[in-house]
Structure 1
Amino acid sequence: MSSQVSGLSDLLKSNLDRGVSSNEDELLQRRDIFGANTYPRKKRKSIWRFVFEACQDLTLVILMVAAATSLSLGIVTAGVKDGWYDGGSIFFAVFLVIFVTATSDYRQSLQFQHLNEEKQNIQVEVIRGGKRVGASIFDLVVGDVV
């Protein structure tokens, strides 16, 4: 078993006692050759997706129908100049609620994503250049002795 581990360490140009070199250029070269110790992240939702989701609220849909009805009846009965006030006010209130809801949900999503990234950033000790060094799991390279 020990010969397999030492053989693997030789292939990776790593030393079991000293680890890999702490030279930044060599660490970058290892990251370029073997890839970074990360995974692809999910694409986050845009603000427009949150706007669309806010528009799906049943109460707001009912209010939009009521606003359209009020707007059309107001224009028919009082004319365009004075008849749009009630329906226009309801539309304005609905769009304001949609904007506030979407903005709030979007900000919460960003905060959750930031907290999740902090939670996943685990610190470990590696041996580089013969010294114990603290490193993030995202900064590990192939050949590190953890």
Structure 2
Amino acid sequence: MPLFKKKEGIVEMEEDGGSYGFDINVTQLVELMELHGKELIDKLNNDYGGLNGLLQKLKANSQKGLESDNETDLEERRNVFGENKIPPKPMKSFLKLCWEALHDLMIIILLVCSIVSIGLSFYKAPDENNSTNKKGVAILIAVLVVVTVTAFNDWRKEKQFRGLQTKIESDQLSNVVRDGKVQQVNVFDLVVGDMCLIKY
């Protein structure tokens, strides 16, 4: 039995979709979306009675589309079938960005040099001036600074990119038939049952 998230919590949906007034459920729609060409047309005609049959199961009017002022219906469609949003991938953590910055070839070479330099400083005679240790530590500090700055810059760029991407996505409009006329609707406000006008 599929589960769908709702604002108040988790809602169980019956396989027939009947409890919500729809004669089709998400699983069936996903199966349709995965088909192409003749296979899709055959499935649509044989199982759903063609396009008009599918629209009837979705409680959508083939001439007028959905009613834009019927918020109850639109909200019910969002609750049953989900919102038209793809959740963004989680941002990389600062530590992960630091780890990725450490994989730079030059950084690896510098790390090896600093470790070798620090290691060699322990094998010096006690009466000699031990400046090798200071050089190794200085190289290590320089590497840490470079890695931190690189990771911070990458983190800031990714944050800016996500902000720009969100702005672009939120400004996208789609032409749909609602109330018997073509309207422009934000892509995030599209629901299952909307008839979209596709431009090629």
1:86 partner SS:
helix
Question: What does the per-residue CA deviation read over 1:83-138, in whole Å, with 9 as the maximum and x for residues that have no partner?
Answer: 55332221111000011111222333334444455555641122333454321333
1:38 aligned to 85, 94, 119, which one?
Answer: 85
**TM-score (normalised: structure 2):** 0.57
2:60 aligned to 6, 9, 14, which one?
Answer: 14
In the TM superposition, residue 58 of structure 1 has moved relative to its aligned partner by 1.8
2:101 paired with 1:54? yes
**TM-score (normalised: structure 1):** 0.73
1:37 partner SS:
coil
RMSD: 3.1
Q: Indicate the residue corresponding to 2:179 in structure 1.
A: 129
CA distance 1:124–1:73, shift in 2 (3 Å) = same
Q: What is the rounded CA distance, in whole Å, between the counterparts of 1:52 and 1:93 in structure 2?
A: 16
Bigger relative CO (Cα 8 Å, ≥ 6 apart)? 1
The 5 Å alignment of 1:1-146 reads 4-22=50-68, 23-39=70-86, 41-74=88-121, 77=124, 84-117=133-166, 122-146=172-196
Gaps of 5+ in 2: 1-44
* Aligned residues of 1:74 and 1:86 also touching (Cα < 8 A): no
Gaps of 5+ in 1: none
State the number of aligned residues: 143
* Aligned residues of 1:67 and 1:90 also touching (Cα < 8 A): yes
* Aligned residues of 1:14 and 1:143 also touching (Cα < 8 A): yes
Aligned letter for 2:72? D
Q: What is the rounded CA distance, in whole Å, between the counterparts of 1:145 and 1:18 in structure 2?
A: 9
Which piece of structure 1 moves more, 98-107 or 9-18?
Answer: 9-18
